[in-house]
């Protein structure tokens, strides 16, 4: 059961969850671009901080911390690699500036992870599916996305049942050397694949029976409309972009270094 | 008026050596409640698939004979055209729901037809109410029980307002009480909306009372057709392996033992109990 | 023998599925576990072979605590047949499917051959020995799944919803098959919704509701207790429905199967005639 517990989506309502996913996505892209344009700690720290209100308004602090913790390993990896290369190129010496620029690279990565995790933590799959349906991409893709989300918990549950069924016939997954262990999964994979194929056939049959492909232009039960919050977010996104471009063009070289405060 | 007319139908799946439907003719009148039964592998599922053209269009294979459904020659029409006339509900409720909310699923067919939003809303609510699942409309299909999922499937074909609804063993994964609720919904649709119902079932104990047109199939052919009271008291029927209602079976056994309750063949426990009370209460 | 002492079980989502269940299953028992969806039936039976371990409480199989041994070791004594055969079939032939578990349990070649022949014969599958299980019908696949478990001759057989998706004839076969196992003194535990099937098989019934056992008794008593059944959303078996209505005639109300119904009514008629 625990396997698919985390995969079930739950409906949560908050001002952030209610935002149009399309606008939220544009915002994430804006943050993404801004983060790439800077390598100094100060602007990146600001980009990091301005997203915190979103996290708190959406009340996803716990999951958000979890996703950052997940990224911690990769972040420290980036930091170490940066330090090592600097160390190597500077003939085995390391300056405060080097450390700062390595920290900047790490910070950039954290900002990117942060913005994407806010997006995915606050956008329910049906909302996202709807946004896909109402953007210009072909409907088949949007349909594939929502169906995948719909069936992930079902398949996870099925995988668990299959595992139980084979264990009950004496299969020991953890037994033997590496090769044997991989082979142990065959009795689980085959029923899972066979059932997925059977399932997809039945789905296709049901879709056909409900007039799949009848009209050239499909309609939609729901209409995504922009609300007040969405306009505010558009405003915020624009301001972030304007400031970013302005600072990048005219103030880029006068951004103070943190290390300059100390030396 | 004959709404389904099948003559001399023979159908073989691609790659199969034997035909699954082997010379079958059947007429169904508008507004009828038809019950089809037979052992597994008798061809009843294949027959259902011919009603909206899944056979031969989706499954390919070789089809001979004629099928006219709601005035359309099924072999000429695409399945999406037939979908407006015939709604199909399948055995496994889980595999016919694709959306992330119940009402979105009910709307799926209408969206495909390109129906304007306002009208679609009305139709969806109407279908949800008829199937008795209006309160569940915002739930995810994963959160509702099997019986409720099957009612979502019924609502989703109902929304297209077909003249005929075909249900292929809709309750075989459900417990008896959920099954009974499904049958009640279907019966109501037939009685109140005048929709022609073709129900494939082996639970005759719960369904025989709804119909006076029972079709028993075996090996791709129809072997009995008519009023269930006539058919179920026939001795031949037990040999095919059809699940006769317990009340009918008990009646037959009592009769064979020389105790004739002297009534028409009972189809439900209530009927038999009432008659027994009358005869035995001296 | 399986002894269960006051077990609780919670899933990771903190939903308590079992809220203090105790039960003793003796060798040779024939038990049907009934109850509505979410009553905890499947969670309960998964404790018998250690697929689930209780959050608190103790499950002992032949005196051994399930927490102190492996699923594989427990499975040797307790055969588990899942609802859907497609959740376990994976081999190229029916024979290989049966051999799978026998190999897992480390039987020698000769014994394996013997057991395969026996299991195929017992479930009338001999003609399909070299056929792919995926080419068989639903009822036949169910029998392959059964054969693949019976082959290692476990003392206890646990069946999860054995009648689901099965037609009349297949159910009759299943009933005969359970009766045969009973005559071999095997323990059979089944989880089922199918009241008609239970009424004909006549087992001891454990009724579960909301993570607890609410009734434990013989089929005749439980399947005629309409108040108890109603609380679990179970309908009375048809024969019981008839006899409930026949009460004014002075007939016994606790008749649930066909044979008894026939003899009871006929003897009543005979008595009236005299």
Same structural domain for residues B154 and B54? yes
Out of B176, B202, B282, name the one closest to residue C195 (CB): B176
In this prediction, what percent of chain B has a pLDDT beyond 90? 73
Which residues from chain B sit within 8 angstroms of residue A212, using beta carbons?
80, 112
B88 vs A209: CB contact, 8 Å cut-off?
Answer: yes
User: To probe the interface with B, which of C143, C175, C237, C238 has the most B CB atoms within 10 Å?
Assistant: C238
Q: Touching A: which chains, 3+ CB pairs < 8 A?
A: B, C
**DSSP at B57:** I
**C43 Rama class: left (phi>0) / alpha (psi -120 to 50) / beta:** alpha
Residue A119: the pLDDT is: 87
Q: Touching B: which chains, 3+ CB pairs < 8 A?
A: A, C
Containing A94, the helix (H) or strand (E) segment is none
Among the listed residues B54, B141, B134, B150, the one whose alpha carbon sits nearest the alpha carbon of residue B105: B141
| Secondary structure, 3-state, C135-199 | HCCHHHHHHHHHHHHHCCCCCEEEEECCCCCCCHHHHHHHHHHHHHHHHCCCEEEEECCCHHHHH
Does the residue B225 lie in any domain? Answer: yes
Name the average pLDDT for chain B.
92
Same structural domain for residues B102 and B226? yes
Residue A8 pLDDT more than 60? no
Q: Please provide the distance, in angstroms rounded to a whole number, between the alpha carbons at the two ends of chain B.
A: 48
Does the residue A42 lie in any domain? Answer: yes
Residue A65 pLDDT more than 90? no
Q: Are B11 and B55 in contact (CB under 8 A)?
A: yes
Which residues from chain C sit within 8 angstroms of residue A198, using beta carbons?
86
How close, in Å, is residue C64 to chain B by CA atoms?
Answer: 35
pLDDT band with cut points at 50, 70 and 90 for residue A134: confident
Residue A66 pLDDT more than 80? yes
Residue A4: the pLDDT is: 41
Residue B15 belongs to domain spanning: 2-235
Which residues from chain A sit within 8 angstroms of residue C12, using beta carbons?
1-2, 5
pLDDT band with cut points at 50, 70 and 90 for residue A11: low
Same structural domain for residues B188 and B259? no
Same structural domain for residues A46 and A149? no
Q: For residue C203, count CB atoms less than 10 angstroms from its CB and return exposed for 0-12, middle for 13-18, buried for 19 or more.
A: buried
Which residues from chain C sit within 8 angstroms of residue B146, using beta carbons?
37
Residue C109: the pLDDT is: 95
Name which residue leads in pLDDT, A125 or C101: C101
Q: What average pLDDT does range B210-233 have in this prediction?
A: 94
Residue A6 pLDDT more than 50? no
Q: What's the total number of domains in chain B?
A: 2
Does the residue A220 lie in any domain? Answer: no
- Expressed in percent and rounded to 5, the helix, strand and coil fractions of chain C are 45, 20, 35
β-bridge partners, B89: B167
Rounded CA gap, B37 and B245, in Å? 13
Does the residue B240 lie in any domain? Answer: no
Residue A154 belongs to domain spanning: 138-209
Here the CATH number for the domain that contains residue B182 is 3.40.50.300
Does the residue A149 lie in any domain? Answer: yes
Name which residue leads in pLDDT, B221 or A101: B221
Which pTM value belongs to this model? 0.87
Residue A251 pLDDT more than 50? yes
Same structural domain for residues B164 and B256? no
Out of A146, A206, A214, name the one closest to residue B112 (CB): A214
The DSSP string of A138-170 is -HHHHHHHHHHHHHHHHHHHHHHHHHHHHHTTT
Does the residue A251 lie in any domain? Answer: yes
In this prediction, what percent of chain A has a pLDDT beyond 70? 95
A8 vs B142: CB contact, 8 Å cut-off?
Answer: yes
| CA dihedral of A79, A81, A86, A92, whole degrees rounded to 10 | 110
What pLDDT digit, counting tens, does each position of A13-39 carry?
788 888 888 899 999 999 999 999 988
Q: What average pLDDT does range C243-255 have in this prediction?
A: 89
Which residues from chain A sit within 8 angstroms of residue C70, using beta carbons?
172
């Amino acid at each position: 059961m625990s396997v698919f517990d985390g995969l079930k989506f739950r409906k949560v309502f908050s001002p952030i969850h209610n935002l149009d996913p399309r606008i939220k996505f544009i915002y994430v892209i804006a943050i993404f671009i801004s983060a790439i344009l800077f390598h100094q700690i100060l602007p990146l720290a600001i980009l990091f901080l301005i997203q915190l209100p979103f996290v708190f308004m959406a009340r996803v602090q716990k999951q958000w911390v979890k996703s950052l913790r997940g990224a911690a390993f990769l972040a420290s990896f980036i930091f170490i690699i940066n330090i090592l290369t600097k160390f190597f190129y500077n003939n085995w010496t390391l300056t405060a500036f080097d450390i700062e620029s390595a920290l900047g690279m790490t910070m950039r990565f954290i900002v990117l992870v942060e913005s994407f995790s806010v997006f995915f933590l606050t956008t329910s799959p049906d909302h996202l599916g709807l946004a896909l349906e109402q953007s210009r991409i072909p409907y088949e893709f949007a349909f594939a996305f929502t169906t995948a989300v719909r069936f992930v918990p079902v398949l996870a549950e099925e995988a668990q049942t299959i595992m139980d069924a084979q264990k009950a016939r004496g299969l020991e997954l953890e037994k033997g050397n590496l090769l044997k262990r991989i082979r142990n999964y065959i009795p689980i994979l085959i029923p899972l694949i066979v059932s997925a194929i059977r399932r997809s056939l039945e789905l296709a049959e049901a879709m056909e029976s409900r007039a799949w492909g009848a009209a050239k232009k499909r309609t939609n039960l729901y209409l995504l409309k922009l609300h007040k919050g969405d306009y505010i977010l558009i405003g915020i996104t624009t301001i972030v972009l304007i400031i970013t471009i302005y600072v990048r063009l005219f103030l880029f070289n006068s951004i103070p270094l943190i290390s300059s405060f100390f030396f | 008026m004959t709404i389904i007319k099948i003559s001399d139908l023979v159908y073989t799946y691609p790659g199969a050596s034997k035909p699954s439907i082997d010379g079958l003719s059947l007429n169904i009148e508008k507004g009828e409640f038809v019950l089809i039964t037979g052992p597994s592998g008798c061809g009843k599922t294949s027959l259902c698939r011919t009603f909206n053209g899944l056979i031969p269009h989706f499954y390919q294979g070789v089809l001979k004979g004629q099928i006219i459904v709601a005035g359309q020659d099924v072999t000429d029409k695409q399945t999406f055209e037939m979908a407006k006339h015939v709604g199909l509900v399948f055995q496994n409720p889980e595999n016919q729901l694709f959306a992330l909310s119940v009402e979105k699923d009910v709307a799926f067919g209408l969206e495909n037809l390109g129906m304007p939003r306002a009208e679609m809303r009305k139709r969806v609510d109407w279908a949800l109410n008829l199937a008795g699942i209006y309160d569940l409309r915002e739930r995810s299909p994963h959160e509702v029980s099997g019986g409720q999922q099957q009612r979502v499937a019924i609502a989703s074909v109902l929304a297209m307002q077909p003249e005929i609804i075909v249900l292929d063993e809709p309750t075989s994964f459900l417990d008896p009480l959920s099954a009974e609720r499904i049958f009640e919904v279907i019966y109501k649709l037939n009685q109140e909306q005048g929709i022609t119902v073709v129900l494939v079932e082996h639970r005759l104990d719960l369904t025989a009372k709804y119909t006076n047109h029972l079709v028993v199939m075996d090996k791709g052919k129809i072997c009995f057709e008519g009023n269930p009271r006539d058919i179920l008291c026939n001795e031949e029927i037990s040999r095919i392996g059809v699940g006769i209602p317990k009340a009918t079976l008990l009646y037959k056994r009592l009769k064979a033992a020389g105790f004739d309750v002297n009534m028409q063949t009972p189809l439900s426990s209530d009927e038999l109990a009432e008659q027994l009370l009358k005869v035995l209460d001296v | 023998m399986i002894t269960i002492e006051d077990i609780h079980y919670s899933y990771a989502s903190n939903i308590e599925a079992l809220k203090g269940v105790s039960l003793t299953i003796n060798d040779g028992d024939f038990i049907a576990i009934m109850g509505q969806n979410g009553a905890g039936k499947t969670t309960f039976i998964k404790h018998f072979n250690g697929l689930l371990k209780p959050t608190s409480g103790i499950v002992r199989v032949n005196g051994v605590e399930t927490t102190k041994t492996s699923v594989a070791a427990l499975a040797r004594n307790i055969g588990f047949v899942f609802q859907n055969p497609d959740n376990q079939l994976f081999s190229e032939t029916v024979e290989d499917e049966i051999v799978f578990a026998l190999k897992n349990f480390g039987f020698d070649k000769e014994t394996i051959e013997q057991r395969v022949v026996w299991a195929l014969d017992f479930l009338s599958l001999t003609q399909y020995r070299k056929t792919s299980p995926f080419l068989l019908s639903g009822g036949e696949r169910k029998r392959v799944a059964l054969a693949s478990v019976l082959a290692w001759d476990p003392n206890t057989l646990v069946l999860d919803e054995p009648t689901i998706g099965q037609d009349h004839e297949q159910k009759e076969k299943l009933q005969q098959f359970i009766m045969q196992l009973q005559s071999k003194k095997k323990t059979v535990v089944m989880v089922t919704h199918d009241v008609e099937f239970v009424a004909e098989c006549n087992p001891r019934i454990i009724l579960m509701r909301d993570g607890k056992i609410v009734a434990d008794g013989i089929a005749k008593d439980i399947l005629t207790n309409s108040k108890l059944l109603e609380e679990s959303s179970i309908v009375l078996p048809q024969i019981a429905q008839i006899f409930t209505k026949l009460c004014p005639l002075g007939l016994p109300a606790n008749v649930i199967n066909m044979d008894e119904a026939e003899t009871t009514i006929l003897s009543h008629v005979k008595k009236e005639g005299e």
